[in-house]
Amino acid sequence: MQTAEIHRRWLDFFEKRGHTVVPSASLVSDDPSLMFTVAGMVPFVPYLSGLVPAPYPRATSVQKCIRTNDIEEVGKTPRHGTFFQMCGNFSFGDYFKEEAIRFAWELLTTSEDDGGLGFDPKDLWVTVYEDDDEALALWKRHSTLPDERIQRLGKDTNYWSTGQPGPAGPCSEIFYDLGPDAGVDGGPATDDDRYVEIWNLVFMQYQITDVASKTDFTIVGELPNKNIDTGMGLERVAFIKQGVQNMYEIDQVRPVLDRAAELAGKTYGANHEDDVRLRVIADHVRSGLMLIADGVTPSNEGRGYILRRLLRRVILSMRLLGVDGPTFPELFPVSRDAMQAAYPEVAREFEFISRAAYAEEKTFLRTLASGIQILDAAVSGARGAGGEVAGDTAFLLHDTHGFPIELTLEIAEEAGVSVDRSVFATLMQEQRDRAKADAKAKKGQRADLSVYTELRGLGETLFTGYDELNHESRVLGIVVDGAPVREAREGEVAEIVLAETSLWAESGGQDSDQGVIVGDGFEAEVLDVQKPVPGLIVHTAKVVVGTVGLDARAETRVDPDYRRGATQAHSGTHVVHAALREVLGANAHQAGSYNKAGYLRLDFTHGEALSAATRSEIEEISNLAIRSDYDVVTREMPLDEAKALGAMALFGEKYGDRVRVVDIGGPWSRELCAGTHVESSAEIGMISLVSESSVGSTNRRLESLVGIEAFRNFAAERAIVQQLTSGLKVPRAELVTKVQDLGAQLRTAEKRIAALEAEKLAQRVPELLAGAEELGEVRAVLGSLGGVGSADDVRGLALQLRDRLGAEAGVVVLAGDAGGKPVVIAATTAAARDRGVRAGDLAKLGAQVLGGGGGGKPDLAQGGGTDPAKIDEALAEIRRSLAA
């Protein structure tokens, strides 16, 4: 049974039993505490926790998920995957244990011909929480399982909670028995791999507090509404139904594995290490495909970093299999074809997906080449230094160049040297500790969202700011330091929740409004406006006069100048986006934006920098659209109707069933957007593009000033031009030529000065050679040069002196003051290196005295520091080292 067919049967089964079919949410989670959607329940947490009223009594979904906490285990076990799909059915205060157990047994054991999954009951086992007599009785009533195949287990395996005070409850898990050849008898209680967990039924029925650990907490009572949250692992069911050994061999994954094996000339199943690498490739390519399809692009932080890490692990695994060149153009189309039956968007958006993936591979292959050079130098040095690559070098390769330690070890082993694993492990642990501490600190900065549960239960906050700047409302809630209070006094910063508000909450790329909240005897300055949970608008405000109390009448007043600037910038973003696509074509997708009064930032998909002419063209088209005074029309309509009109849904964004469509000039710019906008394009005033830069291998960023800020920028640049034309005494039309001429003259003068300084230094060769010393086993030339032009000058002189030393065991160490920064250069002859003297060690030693760092190759190295006054001391330390 194909994976997409299991997917379809799941949704059909529960839809026929009154469940609302909910499409999979994006892999990019709305939960601010999560980077990705890590479980099928994540999109339903606000309903399960009571934070937001559920829009339906029961629901079902097949949710896309990403987990990377066990990334190192991928490929090594039959069950670890970064991307997986979780089939779920949910009840929000509707049905409970009996129906959940009955539904599960019915779907699993109904024959395939009758629409079920066709499992033989003799292959199934069930576990229940040890004290859950009710669940045990219900399994006996609704299944044909003998008593010995229903096992009671403890809290560590069969009790669910978030790890925080709140909802919790026992759970019941369903396992498939792979048979006696796969492991020991005894059922899931043995914790043997023979028994594969395929479905978990969570019975959310209690409120817990005093949570000390997963098994140590206090149950304070039953929830007013008992909920059901179940999850069936789609990949696990698929590999069982398809008769294969693991999730990497199912129909959605195996084609990529086979193509990778073909490219590498390998046979899957012939070698364990190769098999692990092939499984990593198959898993990570699919994960990369699905992440990019949901709008994530490779970068150096956050979600983009996780994606980059996955893609680079694929490249490195292919390299370890013997393939050095690009492989993504071969692998990603195979994954697309395997996934598109379940997720048609991967085919629809494949041009964007492939461009992002292929560019990342191209970039990393270049990075890999430079890393190999570093490793080759380290291996070469290790051959003469005890046969060991330094642990900090291995860590540098891992941390900066993306080399896994396995690749470093393999290359080192082929060269006959080892790697200092202990230092590497220490540095890795220090990095993990820093990351853990940072994550803990950030987690501590986030408020407990449960504080908003009761407030959200009062209904959605109505935003009235599309039509008015001031609005009379009522205070529904006040939160200070994460706790609800009845009032906030003068000087306090509080979160204030109102029934309605005219203040825009930050979303859709538009920053929050500035303004005040005023009432009888109080005034609060609004510092920020956010939506911590869907449907709830929270104003962070400082009370500057009086006391704000619950149920008080309160009026929101938006700063009109700020709102005017914000609407100019947001409408300007749409205009620039339309101009960008007009110039670059439809493949230039918006990939993110931010706008506030006077400023806009637009990220877009494009693989190369824009020329000055292209930037000028985009700016001109944008300002022509402003001059054309296009009508800006906003309409609300169903999402399908908006798409039929050609409204652009921004890639990776999430939309509800009803959307707001913003037209500027009719279809010229037609986008889905909930932000605030001007009424005609002329109100934008002016667009001034001030910056274009890279934000990744496939993304570019345009920054622009808008309205009065754009005018002020032009005025400032005009003043600079006037100062230059006056000071240089040339007309404006000749200013560029004049500056270019001055630059050429300056460069010529600098070259002449450099040549004179080099000649002056070269004249010191006889003097320095005459002062050579016999130190230990080498003849050493050590000299302080005083003021020098640059490190290059010192290096050139050191090489001349080394050449004059010829075949003897010679060492040259020169130091100078390059513009207030000390520099030390060390050079050695081959005979000196044969005696164990290395330039890198000498440069490092001198740099330490100078208050800096240094190093390099055994034949030539450089160091620097902060204190030129210590140059003589540094040379003396090097002299002592050579003489020892």
Binding-site residues for Zn(2+) sit at 570, 574, 673, 677
What tokens does 37 get? 């959607």
Residue with tokens 């504080």: 451
Q: Are 77 and 118 in contact (CB under 8 A)?
A: no
d(CA 746, CA 742): 6
Q: Are 145 and 135 in contact (CB under 8 A)?
A: no
Cβ of 36: how many Cβ atoms within 10 Å? 23
DSSP state of 733: G
The Cβ-side half-sphere exposure at 228, using a 13 Å CA radius, reads: 26
Q: 305 φ, ψ to 5°? A: -70, -40
Q: 503 φ, ψ to 5°? A: -85, 130
Q: Are 148 and 136 in contact (CB under 8 A)?
A: no
Is residue 779 classed as helix, strand or coil in its secondary structure?
A: strand
β-strands 166-177, 195-209: how paired? antiparallel
Q: Who contacts 692 (Cβ-Cβ below 8 Å, separation ≥6)?
A: 609, 610, 615, 700, 701, 702, 703
d(CA 862, CA 440): 40
Adjacent-strand bridge partners of 159: 170
d(CA 227, CA 136): 18
Adjacent-strand bridge partners of 604: 590, 700
Adjacent-strand bridge partners of 230: 201
β-strands 388-389, 470-480: how paired? unpaired
Adjacent-strand bridge partners of 241: none
Catalogue the E-assigned strands of 347-503.
388-389, 418-419, 462-463, 470-480, 483-485, 487-488, 493-498, 500-501
Cβ of 102: how many Cβ atoms within 10 Å? 17
What tokens does 879 get? 């002299």
Residue numbers belonging to the annotated binding site: 570, 574, 673, 677
Q: Are 222 and 206 in contact (CB under 8 A)?
A: yes
Cβ of 467: how many Cβ atoms within 10 Å? 8
Residue 281's identity, in one-letter code, is I
d(CA 102, CA 189): 23
Alpha helix (H) residue ranges in 249-349: 254-264, 272-293, 302-320, 328-339, 345-348
Q: Are 286 and 335 in contact (CB under 8 A)?
A: yes
Alpha helix (H) residue ranges in 776-853: 791-805, 830-834, 839-849
Report the candidate in 225, 224, 197 with the shortest Cα–Cα distance to residue 90.
Answer: 225
Q: Are 357 and 288 in contact (CB under 8 A)?
A: yes
CA distances from 803 to 3, 349, 769, 828, 834 (A): 70, 61, 11, 10, 17
Q: Are 839 and 827 in contact (CB under 8 A)?
A: yes
CA distances from 218 to 148, 164, 208, 272 (A): 31, 11, 5, 47
Q: Who contacts 768 (Cβ-Cβ below 8 Å, separation ≥6)?
A: 781, 783, 801, 814
Cα four-point dihedral sign 74, 75, 81, 87: negative
Residue 185's identity, in one-letter code, is D
Region of 288 on the Ramachandran plot (φ > 0 left; ψ -120 to 50 alpha; else beta) = alpha
